[in-house]
Copies of this chain bind each other. A is one copy, B any other.
Amino acid sequence: MKRDIDHLMNERGLGAAIVLQGEHMSPTFRYLTGPRAHLKGIVVWRPGQKPYLVHHAMERDSAAATGFALGDYGSLGWMKLLEDEGSQIKATARLIQKVLDTLGIRGRVLVDGVVQLGWYYHVLNHLREMKPDLEIVEDQDPGLFELARSTKDPDEVKTVRTVASVCERAYARIREIIQGARLEGKKLRDGEGPVTIGRLRREVRRVFFEAGLVEPHGNIIAMGRDAGVPHNEGNDKDVLEEGRPIVVDLYPAQENGGYYFDVTRTYCVGRAPQELKELHTLVHDAVRTTVDRLAVGTPGRVYQESVCDLFESHGHRTIRQDERVEEGYVHGLGHGIGLEVHERPRLSAASNPDLILPGSLFTVEPGLYYPSRGLGVRIEDVIYAHHDGSFENLTHVPYELEIAPA
């Protein structure tokens, strides 16, 4: 949570953090400054002090709304620095140096921000040359802001619930379409014609649009063999067919860089073949047993190990046995969500230091994949760790595999 930042900085011996936002959404910058459509610049965060923001005069209204101490590029002499240095990269380094010197910052500082690396790598190198009393610290794992952001306060969870409820509507819409259609041979159609993956995607998109959500990373609605390749987003032209798995993985966010939700269900039009039913039952068991065993303070990797145990005991190969595995259980068990779709804590096994903490908000998403047999199943819920140590499943979407057409 935001209130953890200062004591984490003190614990890690950091005098300040420099958080950048350029052309692209920088989640930590957004976390610190709040949701504002137009605000680029540099936040300097110091424990126990009012944050300082460098901003453009054109964005002075958004800047003022942060409540931070402000300095605009013009007043800081940006154009003069550009002329003197003859390079945007050096002028940016000089500007940061000027701000840090004015604020009396030296020693160990942290840098954060999603920006163009080829440019800012050299900005930081010049900054170190210009200001030898500065040390740009390599952060611990998880990083300070990753860790602070990974535990959500009640306001954040309230916001996430609103996104969750829209996801429920999107899944309800998909089930309605299938239930309202009929099979012609093996293929599904309704009054609008063949029911395709693209049709489902359009309907989902409309549900999100009506609710003010966007899909910055798209979505996955993939059938059969495509459902067996976890990040295959599916083929819009595929007509839904009886008996084949359809993986529906939706991860919309609020507009303007807000909060994400992330749910997956696997559906089958009509009766599912025995093999698919068994996979689905086992994956559902993996979700249930994971959620039942959750405990605050436990490393996230423990749950991945348990799921690998479960799947291996049923004869499935897992990523634990061979990281190159493409059939069986091929990915990590889950990840935090928030202002990014993938945050901390991770529930994967390899070199993962993350703990489940009070306030953690994360997915549990086991899956089994057999693309060579046209099969893929994934089920994904989002779980919140309350501050009293109890867990709540925020995902209210039915698990049923089989959906009967009309």
Q: Does A175 contact B (CB under 8 A)?
A: no
Cβ–Cβ contact B351 & A88, under 8 A: yes
Cβ–Cβ contact B112 & A117, under 8 A: yes
- In the complex where A83-B351, A117-B111, A118-B139 touch, is A323 in contact with B23 (Cβ < 8 A)? no
Q: For residues 273 through 332 of chain A, which have their beta carbon under 8 Å from a beta carbon of chain B?
A: 322-326, 330-331
Instruction: Report the minimal beta-carbon distance from A142 to chain B, rounded to whole angstroms.
Output: 10
CA–CA, A25 to B214, complex, Å? 15
Instruction: Report the minimal beta-carbon distance from A10 to chain B, rounded to whole angstroms.
Output: 18
Closest to A125 in B: B138
CA–CA, A91 to B351, complex, Å? 10
Cβ–Cβ contact A118 & B110, under 8 A: yes
Which B residues lie within 8 Å of A136 (CB)? 121
CA–CA, A78 to B214, complex, Å? 33
Closest to A324 in B: B74
Instruction: Report the minimal beta-carbon distance from A148 to chain B, rounded to whole angstroms.
Output: 13
Cβ–Cβ contact B61 & A229, under 8 A: yes
Between-chain CB contacts (< 8 Å), 5 pairs = A38-B218, A72-B324, A79-B351, A82-B350, A113-B118
Which B residues lie within 8 Å of A62 (CB)? 231-232
Q: Does A20 contact B (CB under 8 A)?
A: yes
Which among B77, B217, B324 is the interface contact of A37 at CB below 8 angstroms?
B217
CA–CA, A20 to B115, complex, Å? 12
Given contacts A24-B25, A121-B121, 8 further A-B contacts (CB under 8 A): A20-B117, A24-B24, A57-B324, A58-B229, A74-B324, A78-B323, A83-B350, A115-B117
Which B residues lie within 8 Å of A215 (CB)? 255
Which among B24, B57, B214, B331 is the interface contact of A330 at CB below 8 angstroms?
B57
Instruction: Report the minimal beta-carbon distance from A220 to chain B, rounded to whole angstroms.
Output: 8
Closest to A60 in B: B229
- In the complex where A233-B37, A330-B58 touch, is A218 in contact with B114 (Cβ < 8 A)? no
CA–CA, A403 to B217, complex, Å? 39
Q: Does A209 contact B (CB under 8 A)?
A: yes
Which B residues lie within 8 Å of A233 (CB)? 37-38
Closest to A59 in B: B231
Q: For residues 77 through 127 of chain A, which have their beta carbon under 8 Å from a beta carbon of chain B?
A: 77-80, 82-83, 86-89, 91, 110-122, 124
Cβ–Cβ contact A57 & B326, under 8 A: yes
Which B residues lie within 8 Å of A350 (CB)? 79, 82-83
Q: Write the A53-77 contact mask toward B (1 if CB under 8 angstroms, else 0).
A: 0001111111000000000111101
Which B residues lie within 8 Å of A113 (CB)? 116-118
Cβ–Cβ contact B116 & A121, under 8 A: no
* 10 closest residue pairs by CB, A with B: A37-B218, A74-B324, A38-B231, A82-B351, A58-B230, A58-B231, A79-B350, A122-B138, A74-B323, A112-B118
Q: Does A341 contact B (CB under 8 A)?
A: yes
CA–CA, A255 to B216, complex, Å? 8
Which B residues lie within 8 Å of A117 (CB)? 20, 111-115, 117, 120-121, 124
Which B residues lie within 8 Å of A324 (CB)? 57, 72, 74-75
Interface centre among A20, A72, A74, A110 (most CB of B within 10 A): A74
Q: Does A389 contact B (CB under 8 A)?
A: no
Q: Write the A1-41 contact mask toward B (1 if CB under 8 angstroms, else 0).
A: 00000000000000000001001110000000000011000
Which B residues lie within 8 Å of A20 (CB)? 117
Which among B58, B86, B214, B229 is the interface contact of A214 at CB below 8 angstroms?
B214
Cβ–Cβ contact B138 & A89, under 8 A: yes
Q: Does A141 contact B (CB under 8 A)?
A: yes
Cβ–Cβ contact A216 & B216, under 8 A: yes
